[in-house]
Amino acid sequence: MAKPLLSVAGLEAGYGDIQVLWGVDLEVAEGDIVCLVGSNGAGKTTLLKTISGLVKPSAGSVRFAGEELAGSGPGAILGAGIAQVPEGRRLFRTMSVRDNLLMGAYLRKPSDPSVGEDLDRVMQMFPRLAERARQDAGTLSGGEQQMCAIGRGIMSRPKLLMIDELSLGLAPRAVELLSESLLEINRAGTTVLLIEQDVLTALEIASRGYVLDRGRVLMSGPSAVLAEAPEVREAYIGA
């Protein structure tokens, strides 16, 4: 396995007096796609928010590209190369698709030629966004909004792209197209950490996975192994 790009060790976090994460250990190798699966309320979103600086950890380590980031703010973590596509997309609904995408490059000056290059790249990856570039983001379909949210993440030129619930509320065909796009993004050099309630979809996309249960890592390993594990099939796949 390639060297870890992201290494989480003993991570604990929560909200006020409510602890959600309990000693979580997780690694994402450079160039890999890793999925994090589990039921609603397992702590998956809290883990991503803690990695990205939106939630402060109470204990543990978050090392990225060899640097300790635990406790750093969201701006510093984005600048280090970690971008998060949040659950529910969180687009600016009354802004155009183009302007939503440009928000992902806010750390660079608009006049920087690389911004236009990245915008062109996103439009080529998602032709529907190019067709709807001047349209308000709130008028897009669910699948198109997810494309826009992923594109906004790509605009920050991340080394690690974290996606919270790729398939939430989407039709099967939209999920299929987004899964293909995610593989393309990964082949182009971006490491991916994917949260998914659809366990089969997640394990098909990722090469490795972690199962989170009540804030603790229950199992981890190659996706093919997890997909056949009786505990995973019984609890999350129904077979």
The residues facing 11 across adjacent strands are 24
Residue 100: inside a domain: yes
Residues 57 and 164 in one domain: yes
Residues 163 and 46 in one domain: yes
The residues facing 4 across adjacent strands are 29
Closest-CA residue to 158 (of 126, 116, 188, 203): 188
State how far the alpha carbon of 146 is from the alpha carbons of 149, 166, 189, 219, in Å.
Answer: 5, 7, 20, 29
- The whole-number pLDDT of residue 107 equals 77
The residues facing 191 across adjacent strands are 160
18, 179 contact by CB (below 8 A): no
Q: Considering its fold, how many domains does the chain have in total?
A: 2
Residue 182: inside a domain: no
Residue 180: inside a domain: no
Residues 72 and 116 in one domain: no
Residues 210 and 141 in one domain: no
Asked if the model's pLDDT at residue 180 lies above 80, the reply is yes
Summarised one tens digit per residue, pLDDT across range 219-236 is 999 999 998 888 888 877
Looking at per-residue pLDDT, the higher value among 94 and 108 belongs to 94
pTM score above 0.85: yes
Residue 164: inside a domain: yes
Closest-CA residue to 5 (of 61, 92, 63): 63
Closest-CA residue to 15 (of 62, 51, 54): 54
Domain of 152 in residue numbering reads as: 85-157
